[in-house]
Structure 1
Amino acid sequence: MSSTHRPTDIQLHQKSRILELTYSDGSHFELPCEFLRVYSPSAEVRGHGKGQEVLQVGKEDVNITGIEPVGNYAVKLVFSDGHDTGIYDWDYLHELGTNQERLWQDYLDRLKEAGHERKTH
């Protein structure tokens, strides 16, 4: 499995709950842990097909407690709420960064539709 977007640097900032990714094409993303958690590529979040996605709620304070390499193509992120089944390949992380604003707004809209209010600190 080869990836077109391989990060040259990954840094976890636990205090601010941000995963910082730098790519060789010059792109740079700061992805909040909550964002990464609610867009986990795991079956638990994505479901097993289109329309089976499971809205994640109450993840405002989630943090990443571990980053484990998976071959040369991905990382497994371990979250403070115990979630650790998502394999984030390099292209998926790049896609999340590239589409962060739209995806975040989509998440906020889905929370609102479901009647959930995000806690803000």
Structure 2
Amino acid sequence: MRLLVPSALVAAVRNRGVRVHIEAPTHFVASSPTPAMQSRNPFFDEAAKVMEQAIGLAQAAGEEAKSALRAQGDRMAVELDLVRRDELEAMRAVLTAEIAELRAELAALRPAGPGPSAPVSISPEA
């Protein structure tokens, strides 16, 4: 009977300076023949089929739940009148530019002198 060892063990032994002659293959192999076993067991075949179907069903249910949750979230966003981030950023950019224009216009209307500015009266339009 010859001893077969994994290649990782061979590398570890060689790194320590020990010389070992090992014949291929270098993976674990049963040294004595085992009695012939039935290669296909109907119970395990059926169990495997049932497990595959259960996994497929679980994946389909997960996808269905994800799409239902997404639809519910979209419906809630519409009901709450929420806006998307890109719409918010676009509106923020427009308003920032408009505020800058108004500040520039206000600065142009103020007197340029160092003294206090005259009070501005605003009367409601009739």
Q: TM-score when scaled to structure 2?
A: 0.19
Pick the structure with more strand per residue: 1
- Could you say which structure has the larger radius of gyration? 2
Q: TM-score when scaled to structure 1?
A: 0.19
Indicate the structure whose relative CO is greater, using CA pairs within 8 Å and at least 6 residues apart. 1
